[in-house]
């Protein structure tokens, strides 16, 4: 397979370093296109009705759509890059080690970010446009809320690995000094379907998380930071919309 791919490359990029740059960009572009056309809740709405176990009422359907999205993110943003690294390895960190996560330095870096973001998220989610969008699945019980959030959280492992692990560390090795800026571009595209303030914020978040991932040499602090912020956004949205109080009183 590797020989077939290389046979189609121009001679000018057959040098190993140039070849790795070329193939990395092509791979990232292809993954982004595949996820856009097949990996979201939107594409699931077209194919999900073909599965007999998927209930068609809105709440159940959006729950299964999130299961589909989280699974596709793990496949395309995590498993596929691992396979790509196997065929076209680069002598660089993968970002999956726990070394940076286990240090007190990581906690000192990431915890303030979470605490700073909490009041910002609280204010942002007070907007009707925001709390009507999040969470994507409207739970009917606290149990289903926690089940949904657990499934939702897994997609951030794939996201952080692809953008702050595979892509970032690989490009840092072959194009030092440009990796963070380059990976912010496809990362912002993932947020095209989100509210505009969140999409703009993804550029800032991509720069900060990229810098911190390189500093700690690990994606895991970013994974848990991302999960904490996403969980807060969903929780605050339910509070502002009045749904959370109904869930608590119901239980």
Here the tokens at position 133 are 């969008």
Of the candidates 162, 179, 175, the one whose C-alpha atom is nearest the C-alpha of residue 215 is: 179
CB 219 within 8 A of CB 62: no
CB 206 within 8 A of CB 184: yes
* Amino acid 151: pLDDT: 95
Here the tokens at position 235 are 């929780």
Digits of tens for pLDDT over the chain (251 positions)? 656 555 555 554 445 656 777 888 999 999 999 999 998 887 877 776 666 555 566 677 788 889 999 999 999 999 999 999 888 887 777 777 765 555 566 677 788 888 999 999 999 999 888 888 889 888 888 999 999 999 999 999 999 999 999 999 988 888 888 999 999 999 999 988 888 888 898 999 999 899 888 888 888 888 989 999 999 999 999 999 988 888 887 65
* Amino acid 58: pLDDT: 64
DSSP-derived secondary structure letter, 217: T
Of the candidates 112, 110, 37, the one whose C-alpha atom is nearest the C-alpha of residue 76 is: 37
Q: What is the pTM of this model?
A: 0.85
Here the tokens at position 86 are 């196997």
* Amino acid 12: pLDDT: 47
* Amino acid 48: pLDDT: 61
* Amino acid 76: pLDDT: 96
| Torsion angle of the four alpha carbons 64, 68, 71, 77, in this order, in degrees rounded to the nearest 10 | -140
Q: Is 128 exposed, middle or buried (0-12, 13-18, 19+ CB in 10 A)?
A: exposed
The pair phi, psi for residue 140, each rounded to 5°, is -100, -5
* Amino acid 14: pLDDT: 46
């Amino acid at each position: 397979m590797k020989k077939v791919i290389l046979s189609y490359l121009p001679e000018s990029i057959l040098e190993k370093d140039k070849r790795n740059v070329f193939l990395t960009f092509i791979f990232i572009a292809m993954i982004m296109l595949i996820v856009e056309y097949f990996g979201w809740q939107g594409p699931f709405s077209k194919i999900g009705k073909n599965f007999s176990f998927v209930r068609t009422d809105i709440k159940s359907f959006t729950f299964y759509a999130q299961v589909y999205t989280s699974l596709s993110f793990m496949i395309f943003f995590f498993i596929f890059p691992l396979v790509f690294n196997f065929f076209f390895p680069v002598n660089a960190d993968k970002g999956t080690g726990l070394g940076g996560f286990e240090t007190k330095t990581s906690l000192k870096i990431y915890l303030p970010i979470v605490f700073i973001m909490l009041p910002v998220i609280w204010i942002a989610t007070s907007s009707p446009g925001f709390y009507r969008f999040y969470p994507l699945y409207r739970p009917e019980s606290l149990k289903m809320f926690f089940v949904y959030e657990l499934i939702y959280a897994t997609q951030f492992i794939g996201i952080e690995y692809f953008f702050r692990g595979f892509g970032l560390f690989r490009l840092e090795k072959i194009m030092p000094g440009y990796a963070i800026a380059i990976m912010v571009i496809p990362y912002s595209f993932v947020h095209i379907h989100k509210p505009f303030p969140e999409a703009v914020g993804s550029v800032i978040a991509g720069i900060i998380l990229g810098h911190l991932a390189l500093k700690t040499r690990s994606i895991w602090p970013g994974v848990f930071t991302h999960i904490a912020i996403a969980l807060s956004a969903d929780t605050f949205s339910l509070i502002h919309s009045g749904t959370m109080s109904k869930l608590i009183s119901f239980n």
